[in-house]
Structure 1
Amino acid sequence: MGGKIKDFDEITSFLGDYGPFQILIIVLFSLSAIPCGYMGVLAVFVSDTPEHHCKTVLLSNETEQCLDGWVYSTERYTATIVSEWDLVCDNAWKVPFSTSSFFVGVLIGSFISGHLSDRFGRKPVFFFTMVLQTVATLIQATSVSWVMFSILNCLRGLGQISNYIVSLVLGEKKSTAPFCCPGYKQLLVFSVLGFGIGYALLPLFAYFIRGWRMLLVATAIPGFLFIPTWWLIPESPRWLLQKGRVEEAELVIRNAAKRNRVPVPEVIFRAGECLELMQTYTYMDLIRTRNMRNITMMSVAMVFYGLSLNTSNVNGNVYLNCFISAAIDIMVYVASWLLVNRVPRPTLLFSTLMFCGITLLIIRLLPEVVYAFYSSCLFVLALVGRMGVSSAYCLIYVFFTELIPTVVRNMGLGIASTAARIGTIICPYVIYIGVYSKMLPYIVFGTISIMAAVVSMLLPDTRNGKLPSLISQHPFVYAYIKKMFHNCKNKRLETKQSMSNM
């Protein structure tokens, strides 16, 4: 037990950097992000409001309710939830509420996914949440009421974010060796790229499937196709070590080495090594310091999802608008991947968010004389602004991951995502106001983007640094731990002194 305590990265360094095993894991988790990419923005088509009018024209009172029902245009859709359940006029509030219910599920999933995967394992939770997302979507296609639809929307959101977060943490344990930052950054960027590809597939699905029920069925199918990868994706060796299952952790590493065709030491994890990895951590270990709270609370998700869901409020072809938006996202993700190791993290995050915020606020300054081109100008400026927030959304996962030690990274990403979803729950109502005032959503999103840009400059630069595996390796938390150690030591001395005086 007196041996040197080694870092997990040091122990597993024999695996190499990018072998067949790492590449396979990166590809699989990138593909798993595709359904997560379109699940969050399905409301653009499923909950869109078609052109409509009363079945009968009322001459007596213009404020009288439409007693005989509504007639909905089928030019764009054969049916949406709006035309299915008459979610217009007095019932129009139910549309943003149903979208918010999805993000309520995302908030719950963000908070509990870390705890569940720490308790039951990363792999079981990853596949369970994938099945949950898929099955909830299929059942949602059979909804008989708006209430049932909203409840299942919440479950779908819970599965979507839990699956995405756990995939990032599970992939981090195996996608890179020596499990340090270069390879994991590739996994993060490719996962976000898969997220963007999923978003780009949505308008293609929706263009050929004009009914909301069949659209939900079609988007659920890819989740089932991914389930057989259970036999290809192993459990996290770090989690196995934390639970004291050393033999199983060794087996995972040996299988990875076999695929990479590299020699394996006779004994991988020796007694006395990786002791801190076997400790149990709680949420208090994550939020003890002011710096860590700043890291977990900052978010750009409200602006990102707000601009995504606002597609239906922009004039023009909604399918083309959505596809162009997704295509721009993919190009931005690639550009971010190229810049991520060349520009300081806070500077890059500040620049992208500030660019987004200023661009969105410029929309408010458009003069009325350009009204003839107003819709086109608004769409172009919104897309340009979206480029900034899409880049920030991609960077935020890389940045947060580098700032949170491995042993609490799962909880850290969950807390960060939880904070983000408070904003995304509100954003459908901001978009709903856009029906009456097209300017207001852009003013709100632009202001929030600028505020987030200012906060981002308070964060340190982690470029070219190694991912902290242990809390003691984290520059912010380590100072706190030292302080706590000295405080405990002083208290023990005071207690001994007082007892001796008695």
Structure 2
Amino acid sequence: MSRTMKKYDDCVAFLGQWGCFQMTVFFLLCASLIPNGLCALALVFLNDVPSHHCKVSDANLTEDWRKNVIPLQVGDGKQELSRCSRYRLDVVRNLSAQGYIPGVDVNVTDLEQESCIDGWRYSRDIYQSTIVSEFDLVCSEQWKQPFTSTVYFMGVLLGTFFSGQLSDRFGRKPVLFATMAVQTFFSFLQVFCTSWILFIILLFIGGLGQIANFVTALVLGAEVLTGHVRVLYSSLGTCLGYAVGYMMLPLTAYFIRDWKWLLLALSLPGLAYLPLWWLVPESPRWLLSQGRVEEAEAVIRKAAKWNKVQPPRVIFDGCNVSVTVPETKEHYGIFDLLKNSNMRSTTLILCVVWFTMTTCYYSLCLNTSQLHADPYISCFIIAVVEVPAYISSWLALRFLPRRLSVIGTLLLGAVAVYFIQLVPNDAG
């Protein structure tokens, strides 16, 4: 950290840590992450695969042949209709016209099969529609269903790289609201998609905005708030804002079972946040790093007014804050994390830890629809479980050493995932 920023907390100590200004920033930034929780895992419902079988629209078949034109197969230990094939319809039509009865005059299992050339019939027991039923992402096109999630996380990956660079260049506040607008706008545009290709292009951009919004909100709050409130916000506030949105997701999806209307409902909360531009401040730390001291002082004076305290005549006097931008400024990038051996080792170890945690987390969350007959209950339970998990993580950060906290939570998660393998398939 530069010398400019070392004394910042001392400069603004007269504000206190938990006044009206800090409460407003804290709760508004936490609220900005609710749409993230709503949209980040929406693919659980948007991308789920309804039960389906080949469409049979020939009206000339007898009732017996209609019931037997789809082969039976064993799936999950029970017999079910084949999802990707049917008996050749021209043969079945001839046998039906000649009065043959399946299972009596004809052994249907001996008949030749064909693919679902007329399309599929999807069950509406759980969903009215998903993108799978909309774009027929089944059978030979089945690879597109998991690839949809991959494209979304490719957008998240790209947004991770660029969000910090953009907020360093243009400021935390503009990037926060711009990325919220991107997430909202492109989620809305997906409602009108007429092809899977267009859908995943918009989904990719939405994923980019989603992670950029999260990271920027986290940084903005961490730079505006001070002391224990900063720790509370960074470790608990942001996560609970996300968890609230996550809990709202299955509740919203339960009442809106058509994928287009669900996407529309999930995109609306972002619109409600955009008018709050005038309440969320720019980061004074970032303004100071750009040599914009007067603007930084204006933010702090406004905060003092909200907190009903008297600011000093010159807020940053004697705080080692430069009032001019140096002619030569050091610029740091991601590769600076790899320059020396200690930092390189720490960076690589933490990258492996993050990779492990996020892979496990999203693998579980994106497969909640497979955990129970009712995907809405499964998703809601997992969302609720996040609340005590975040609270316990915050307590660990407050009272335990960092390495013990990380190792302990990783071992706890590993043991839980291991024991999942011991649960019988037919349990529950």
Flag as ranges the 4+ runs of structure 1 deviating above 6 A: none
Q: Displacement, 1:63?
A: 5.6
Amino acid at match of 2:149: T
**Structure 1 residues 361-372: aligned runs within 5 Å:** 361-366=418-423, 372=426
| 1:242–1:280 Cα contact (<8 Å) kept | no
The whole-number CA distance in structure 2 between the counterparts of 1:133 and 1:235 is: 21
Flag structure 2 segments of 5+ consecutive residues without an equivalent. 57-68, 70-85, 89-110
Aligned CA distance change for structure 1 residues 280 and 126 (closer, same or farther; 3 Å): farther
The worse-fitting range, judged by mean Cα deviation, of 201-210 and 4-13 is: 4-13
The whole-number CA distance in structure 1 between the counterparts of 2:4 and 2:147 is: 56
Corresponding residue number in structure 2 for 1:290: 344
The whole-number CA distance in structure 2 between the counterparts of 1:48 and 1:73 is: 12
> Is 1:121 equivalent to 2:171 in the alignment?
yes
Amino acid at match of 2:418: L
Query: Identity percentage over the alignment?
Result: 43
Q: Give the structure with the larger helix fraction.
A: 1
**Structure 1 residues 138-157: aligned runs within 5 Å:** 138-157=188-207
The whole-number CA distance in structure 2 between the counterparts of 1:130 and 1:332 is: 26
Aligned CA distance change for structure 1 residues 5 and 103 (closer, same or farther; 3 Å): closer
Q: Displacement, 1:333?
A: 1.6
Corresponding residue number in structure 2 for 1:380: none
| 2:11–2:319 Cα contact (<8 Å) kept | no
**CA deviation vs aligned residue, 1:129-163 (integer Å, no higher than 9, x gap):** 00000000000111110001100110110000000
Aligned CA distance change for structure 1 residues 244 and 63 (closer, same or farther; 3 Å): farther
The worse-fitting range, judged by mean Cα deviation, of 356-365 and 137-146 is: 356-365
The whole-number CA distance in structure 2 between the counterparts of 1:97 and 1:19 is: 47
Give 2:149's match in structure 1, choosing from 94, 99, 103. Answer: 99
> Is 1:158 equivalent to 2:208 in the alignment?
yes
Aligned CA distance change for structure 1 residues 247 and 170 (closer, same or farther; 3 Å): same
**Structure 1 residues 50-449: aligned runs within 5 Å:** 50-56=50-56, 57=69, 58-60=86-88, 64-174=114-224, 176=225, 179-180=226-227, 182-188=228-234, 189-270=236-317, 273-275=320-322, 279-283=329-333, 284-288=335-339, 289-294=343-348, 297=351, 298-299=353-354, 300-366=357-423, 372-373=426-427, 376=428
Corresponding residue number in structure 1 for 2:97: none
The whole-number CA distance in structure 2 between the counterparts of 1:346 and 1:91 is: 45
| 2:17–2:229 Cα contact (<8 Å) kept | yes
| 2:30–2:238 Cα contact (<8 Å) kept | yes
TM-score of the superposition, structure 1-length normalised? Answer: 0.69
Q: Displacement, 1:271?
A: 7.5
**CA deviation vs aligned residue, 1:308-330 (integer Å, no higher than 9, x gap):** 00112223210011011111111
Q: Displacement, 1:275?
A: 4.6
Q: Name the larger-Rg structure.
A: 2
Amino acid at match of 1:105: G
RMSD between superposed Cα atoms in Å: 2.2
Aligned CA distance change for structure 1 residues 371 and 252 (closer, same or farther; 3 Å): closer
Q: How many correspondences in the alignment?
A: 365
Aligned CA distance change for structure 1 residues 75 and 203 (closer, same or farther; 3 Å): same
**CA deviation vs aligned residue, 1:158-202 (integer Å, no higher than 9, x gap):** 00000000001111121x2xx23x111111211101111111000
| 2:291–2:322 Cα contact (<8 Å) kept | no
Flag structure 1 segments of 5+ consecutive residues without an equivalent. 377-502
Q: Displacement, 1:9?
A: 1.5
Corresponding residue number in structure 2 for 1:21: 21
| 2:240–2:387 Cα contact (<8 Å) kept | yes
